[in-house]
């Protein structure tokens, strides 16, 4: 199955066979524990649940702790499901390693939580243009018009209007990143380009849904 849970280490560069510098993101993908299977008969869909990260048993809620004990497994901190071909081929209780999931040259989609920017105005959050900064103007970085006064109900602000608010810290998926290198000894995965999230954040790496053809 071409999917695994990892954590972001940071960015660096490596050199390809032609001596060109390639920017890569280093992902630490420690062996994932196969926790359970989801089947069509019982759950309505097919998937495998993987887990990573050590955690003390007393910090796990009782229902989850009992579930791990019934399966004879140690509790893990993070659980994620993958609906991918070959998901049910992984035996419960086994380890899914990075070299089993990917090889150099594969195309992957990486999902993570983007960096939080805090409360931001419309210029930083949405890329609005500011007002004039001279000639008596007092309207510089504010929202601007919220719409016609009599449109659709008389001056109300319609849902979805781009306004100031908290920016970032949302689920983001970057498509079609090429796997440059796999280091099974250190459980490292190097993918070309940047991925969402700060250093140490959790990432889901899956095989690309629509891989690029003929891309470098």
pTM for this one?
Answer: 0.85
Between CA 36 and CA 76 the distance in angstroms is 13
pLDDT tens, 172-206? 999 999 999 999 999 999 999 999 999 999 999 99
Domain positions in the chain are 3-117+171-207, 121-168
Structure tokens at 12: 């660096």
pLDDT tens, 109-131? 999 999 999 999 999 999 999 98
CATH superfamily of 3-117+171-207: Translation factors (2.40.30.10)
195 secondary structure, DSSP code = -
- Within 13 Å and on the Cβ side, how many CA atoms surround 4? 24
């Amino acid at each position: 199955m071409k999917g695994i849970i990892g954590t972001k280490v940071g960015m660096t560069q490596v050199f390809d066979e032609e001596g060109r510098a390639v920017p890569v993101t280093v992902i630490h993908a420690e062996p994932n524990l196969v926790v359970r299977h989801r089947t069509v008969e019982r759950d309505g869909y097919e998937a495998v649940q993987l887990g990573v990260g050590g955690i003390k048993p007393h910090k796990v809620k009782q229902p989850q702790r009992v579930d791990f004990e019934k399966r004879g497994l140690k509790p893990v901190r993070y659980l994620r499901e993958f609906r991918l071909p070959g998901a049910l081929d992984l035996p419960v209780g086994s380890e899914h390693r990075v070299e089993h999931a990917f090889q150099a040259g594969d195309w992957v989609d990486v999902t993570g939580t983007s960096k939080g920017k805090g409360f931001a105005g419309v210029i930083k959050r949405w890329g609005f243009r500011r007002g004039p900064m001279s000639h008596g103007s007092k309207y510089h970085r504010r929202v601007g018009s919220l719409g016609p006064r009599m449109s659709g109900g008389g001056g109300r602000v319609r849902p979805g209007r781009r306004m100031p608010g908290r920016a970032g810290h949302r689920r983001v998926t970057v498509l079609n990143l090429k796997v440059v290198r796999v280091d099974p000894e250190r459980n490292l995965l190097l993918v070309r380009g940047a991925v969402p999230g700060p250093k140490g954040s959790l990432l889901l790496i899956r095989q690309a849904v629509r891989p690029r053809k003929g891309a470098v």
